[in-house]
Structure 1
Amino acid sequence: MTLMSLDGYQARITYNPESDQFRGEILGQSGGAEFYGSNPDELRREFKQSLEVYLEVCRERGIAPRKQFSGKFNLRIPPDLHEQLSLEAEAQGKSLNVLAKEALQKSLS
């Protein structure tokens, strides 16, 4: 996966060999916005234009452009892994939440 950034927004870039074009999908939005280009310069221009249109539509409709996150989510794991992680957190003197948060933060670096 390739990411492209513009004005604090990120887009996932994929290549479609059938159309011989790159497709960008802006991430973390309340709605969807995508764009296409044949080369990096065209892709950047289309990203900028697509983002401008998306933000304008959000303003017109009174919609927050970015998804709102609560900081909570459910994670489904096998019971034996849950047990092992709970024991490891306890051994380290941490809560399971702190252990998971640290592991998730580490995965981003």
Structure 2
Amino acid sequence: MKGMNHKGYFAKVEFDSEDHIFVGHIIGIRDIVGFHGESVTELETAFQEAVDNYLAACNELGQEPNKPYSGNLMLRIPSEIHAAVASAAEASGKSINQWAAGVLEKESHAH
């Protein structure tokens, strides 16, 4: 399953069974930005509007918007796993970075 993504911002969505709506918020930033919709289409539109409004509000206030993620990820793993990752990357003809990015992308969209 792919997550909702707009301009590099991602969302977490839950279903509110009491109000029968989808409720979401932008994840990975310190500010709290929420949105909701009754259908998937409504939810997607509300999410995009929430991101756009957030960026516009930050611009109006002269504030730098929170960046969702930098793209840098540092992991501490046991040396045996590091060696296995290096071997798997080399066997596939990729750098550790390329190999790990592919594995992480596949797994993050698999759930």
TM bracket (short chain): 0.5 to 0.7
Deviations 1:51-71 (A, max 9, x none): 3431232111321353351x4
Whole-Å separation in 1 of the counterparts to 2:15 and 2:75:
31
Unaligned runs of 5+ in 2: none
TM-score by length of 1: 0.59
Q: Which runs of 4+ in 1 moved over 6 A?
A: none
Aligned alpha-carbon RMSD (Å): 3.7
Deviations 1:17-65 (A, max 9, x none): 2442211223455633111223345435543543343123211132135
Q: Percent identity?
A: 32
TM-score by length of 2: 0.58
- Larger relative CO (CA 8 A, sep 6+): 1 or 2? 2
1:1-109 correspondence runs (5 A): 3-4=3-4, 10-27=10-27, 29=29, 31-40=31-40, 42-44=42-44, 46-59=46-59, 60-64=61-65, 66-67=67-68, 69=70, 71-90=71-90, 95-104=95-104
Unaligned runs of 5+ in 1: none
